[in-house]
């Protein structure tokens, strides 16, 4: 049985403005007072885990202990089978020190191009949401969405690799979709639905 969230305040354990905004939007219907880690001056822990789940739990526990409040962390990324699963847990690092995802998308495209014109362009976004309490207890939930990679990137909505990711069954990339449409089908939204059912419902 998952632990229920009973408090009125929650920390989003991320310094990524796009991620904080997306999670804040998902939490909006629950009337929870939400603060981002940067707003509270929390430092970013080193992501030393070797899975999305390990890194999400590490970030959630660190923020919960530092803020003495429940904390929700996300670890997510783009998984490309043709590239051996890369960039995977290193998705943000491919954007370099300036976190420029135009650079990251170009790097992914270069790696695919090196495989030749018949390269498998299937990909999936993976997200793990971990909700931790100051006592160290944590609940984690995973969501995935399948699609393919388009080039050149299109759309200026979303963040990260969204402009090059075309979800299966849709004609718009995540970068072209309105936030409400993306929130209905995204990897993060799928993980969030599990979180809500287990801890908020």
The stretch 1-10 carries a mean pLDDT of 88
Q: Confirm whether 75 is a catalytic residue.
A: yes
For residue 122, give the H/E element and its range: strand 122-132
Q: How far is CA 126 from CA 48, 143, 147, in A?
A: 18, 6, 11
Question: How far is Cα 15 from Cα 38, in angstroms, rounded to an integer?
Answer: 6
72-87 confidence digits (pLDDT tens): 999 999 999 999 999 9
Q: What is the DSSP string of 48-77?
A: --SSHHHHHHHHHHHHHHHHTS-EEEEEEE
Chain mean pLDDT for the chain: 94
Short-list 182, 133, 131, CA closest to 155:
182
What are the structural domain ranges in the chain? Answer: 9-200
Question: How far is Cα 143 from Cα 127, in angstroms, rounded to an integer?
Answer: 5
Residue environment code for 156-192, b if the CB has 16+ CB neighbours within 10 A, otherwise e: ebbbbbbbbbbbeeeeebbbbbeeeebeebbbbbbbb
Query: Using DSSP, how many helices (H) and how many strands (E) does the chain show?
Result: 5, 6
Annotated catalytic residue: which of 25, 50, 74, 75? Answer: 75
The stretch 16-32 carries a mean pLDDT of 85
In this structure, how many other beta carbons lie within 10 angstroms of the beta carbon of residue 45? 17
Mean pLDDT lowest for which of 28-37, 62-71, 84-93?
28-37
Question: How far is Cα 117 from Cα 76, in angstroms, rounded to an integer?
Answer: 28
The stretch 139-149 carries a mean pLDDT of 98
The stretch 21-30 carries a mean pLDDT of 86
Supply the pTM of this predicted model: 0.92
Question: How far is Cα 59 from Cα 13, in angstroms, rounded to an integer?
Answer: 6
CATH number of 9-200: 3.90.950.10
Question: What is the structure's pLDDT at 158?
Answer: 85
Q: Which residue has the tokens 């944590």?
A: 138
160-187 confidence digits (pLDDT tens): 999 999 999 999 999 999 989 998 999 9
Question: What is the structure's pLDDT at 26?
Answer: 84
Question: What is the structure's pLDDT at 24?
Answer: 87
């Amino acid at each position: 049985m998952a632990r229920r969230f009973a408090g009125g305040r929650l920390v989003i354990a991320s310094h990524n403005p796009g991620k904080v905004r997306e999670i804040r939007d998902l939490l909006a219907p629950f009337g929870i007072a939400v603060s981002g880690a940067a707003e509270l001056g929390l430092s970013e822990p080193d992501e030393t885990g070797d899975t999305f789940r390990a890194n999400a739990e590490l970030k959630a526990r660190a923020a919960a202990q530092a803020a003495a409040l429940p904390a929700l962390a996300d670890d997510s990324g783009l998984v490309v089978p043709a590239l051996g699963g890369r960039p995977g847990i290193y998705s943000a690092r491919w954007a370099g020190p300036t976190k420029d995802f135009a650079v990251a998308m170009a790097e992914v495209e270069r790696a695919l191009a090196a495989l030749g014109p018949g390269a498998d362009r299937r990909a999936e976004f993976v997200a793990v949401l971990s909700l931790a309490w100051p006592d160290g207890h944590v609940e984690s939930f995973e969501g995935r969405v399948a699609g393919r990679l388009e080039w050149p990137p299109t759309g200026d909505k979303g963040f990260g690799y969204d402009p090059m990711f075309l979800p299966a069954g849709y004609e718009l990339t995540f970068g072209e979709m309105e936030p409400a449409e993306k929130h209905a089908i995204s990897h993060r939204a799928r993980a969030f639905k599990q979180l809500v059912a287990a801890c908020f419902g």
